[in-house]
Amino acid sequence: MDSRADLLAAEDVLLFVNAAITSTGQREFHTDADEQRLSLDFLREYMLGSYRDLYAGVLALDINDHNAALIIRRLLETAGEATADQRRSEGRLIAGRLAMLPPQRVYGLFGALRRAKVNNRRTRAIMRDWLSARPDLAFDAVKYRNGLKRTLRHAHLVPAGDELGTFVFAPLTRPQYATPILETWRRAHYEQAALYELPFTAAAGFAARRGIPRDVFLQRIAPRMTRLETLRLQESARKNGAAVQADLAGMPLTRLASYVLSLPVEDRIHRRGELARALAAAAGRVAGSHQGSWGKVTAVLDDSFSASGSGQKRRRPLAVALACHYLLAALAADYTGLWASGRTDALLARPHGPMPLGRRILDALDTGPERLVIVSDGWDNAPPGLADEVLRIWRTRLDPNHRTSVVHLNPVYDATGFDVRRVSTAVPAVGVRDAEDLPALVELAQFAEGRTGLAELTGYLDTRAARMRERAR
């Protein structure tokens, strides 16, 4: 049986996991950026000092990229405090996580290590191995040239081949390059047509220096843009008079939900069939072989005013709820989605009004679900406290044997409470960043119920670490 100390350690780890999943140090609806950063910094330092192995193990979970990079940085900065076994284990976790991070995030991390003067042999080896695994370093040299140059200098590395080294450190000293993308970049200094053959971010700099009108540039560069770049810039293109149409096929579910919510209501109505099909297809890809296997599921989804998020994270909580709605519909054999506002048209969701969470939970329990999933920031205010009381009575008197599984997924970190805000102590609450992580988070929720201890949680982290290493191969 776990000791009291082990149970407290498990609670501390779950506290940190919730923070690392949900918070990016940016302003939320109820807390500002400074509060978010201070709260996260405290949790990171506490975890690193108290549970270094578990702190590193969190890299194997579905935490956000911001916190993954910060965890890696602190592990490398404090390598002298780790044992030889810990350094080996941390090295595998760091390598696995770096393989999953966007390259711009990794180059930013390496830049932070350079500024912090972290330059031990272990750090240089990690940089070397990550660069050697990059599929196209010439592409990186064009798109992330400054980041690559600083990394090579900091790690004392020489790129393979004279051509790439020349391009990184003295790009215009060579009259011609054999590598096509490097030669295109060189020609773009003299030929305007060449810049439209470059990656969007590199081409944008040339276009700005040449004074090319924004609408002309966006129209011509559109074929070179990635799906996410097109999605992000579609509204900007429309305002500048350029026709840039996002390809929704293959778009990640939560990003797609954010895009849908960014559209005016008239556009959502006009494109209803296209948007609904794209969301359902994205949800189906996430559900995979588990599609239709979850039995009868009811969700309570937060579209109250606080779901509008903040200036830095506009409509993010609502986007997560919308994406979860479609994913749960794909996972369930029989699905009911109940929005806080009482609206029934998910595509027209908008943040508005108070959160009558307790009433919606009563409605949800009336459907007799096998699983009840609550997606909310936890601010139950119409009336306050009703949700907690409903769930307490349900668990203690009406369903003490847990015939209905209940889990609360919260997309917002509560900086003042050092955790996600809970709707009730009677049900587990876990943080959620992307709806794609929902199945794994429901699995993680078993630990948040307090019925399993540190040994089980450590085993779960080890299993996830093994899966991450497999994916990274």
Residue 239 has pLDDT above 70, yes or no: no
C-alpha neighbours within 13 Å on the C-beta side of residue 258: 20
Under the banding of pLDDT at 50, 70 and 90, the label for residue 415 is confident
CA proximity to 432, closest of 410, 449, 414: 410
pLDDT of residue 414: 85
pLDDT of residue 1: 42
The stretch 437-444 carries a mean pLDDT of: 88
Residue 9 token pair: 């350690």
Residue 302 has pLDDT above 80, yes or no: yes
Residue 6 token pair: 């082990």
Q: What is the pLDDT of residues 13-28, one digit of tens each?
A: 888 999 999 888 788 8
Under the banding of pLDDT at 50, 70 and 90, the label for residue 236 is low
The stretch 298-321 carries a mean pLDDT of: 90
Q: What is the pLDDT of residues 73-110, one digit of tens each?
A: 999 999 999 999 999 999 999 999 999 999 999 999 99
Sign of CA dihedral 125, 130, 133, 136: negative
Distance CA 17, CA 59 (A): 10
CA proximity to 101, closest of 459, 471, 464: 471
Q: Are 305 and 312 in contact (CB under 8 A)?
A: no
Residue 434 has pLDDT above 90, yes or no: yes
Residue 65 has pLDDT above 70, yes or no: yes
Is pLDDT larger for residue 451 or for residue 299? 299
Q: What is the 3-state secondary structure (H, E, C) of the chain?
A: CCCHHHHHHHHHHHHHHHHHHHCCCCCCCCCCHHHHHHHHHHHHHHHHHHCHHHHHHHHHCCCCHHHHHHHHHHHHHCHHHCCHHHHHHHHHHHHHHHHHCCHHHHHHHHHHHHHCCCCCHHHHHHHHHHHHCCCCHHHHHHHCHHHHHHHHHHCCCCCCCHHHHHHHHCHHHCCCCCCHHHHHHHHCCCCHHHHHHCCHHHHHHHHHHHCCCHHHHHHHHHHHCCHHHHHHHHHHHHHCCCCCCCCCCCCCHHHHHHHHHHCCHHHHHHCHHHHHHHHHHHHHHHHHHHCCCCCEEEEEECCCHHHHECCCCECHHHHHHHHHHHHHHHHCCEEEEEECCCCCCHHHCCCCCCCCHHHHHHHHHHCCCCEEEEECCCCCECCECHHHHHHHHHHHHHCCCCCCEEEEEECCEECCCCEECCCCCCCCEEECCCHHHHHHHHHHHHHHCCCCCHHHHHHHHHHHHHHHHHHHC
Q: Are 407 and 374 in contact (CB under 8 A)?
A: yes
Return the CATH number of the domain spanning residue range 254-452: 3.40.50.410
Q: What is the mean pLDDT of the chain?
A: 89
Q: Are 163 and 179 in contact (CB under 8 A)?
A: yes
pLDDT of residue 309: 83
Please count the other Cβ atoms lying within 10 Å of the Cβ belonging to residue 472: 14
CB-count exposure of residue 172 (10 Å: 0-12, 13-18, 19+):
exposed
Residue 2 has pLDDT above 70, yes or no: no
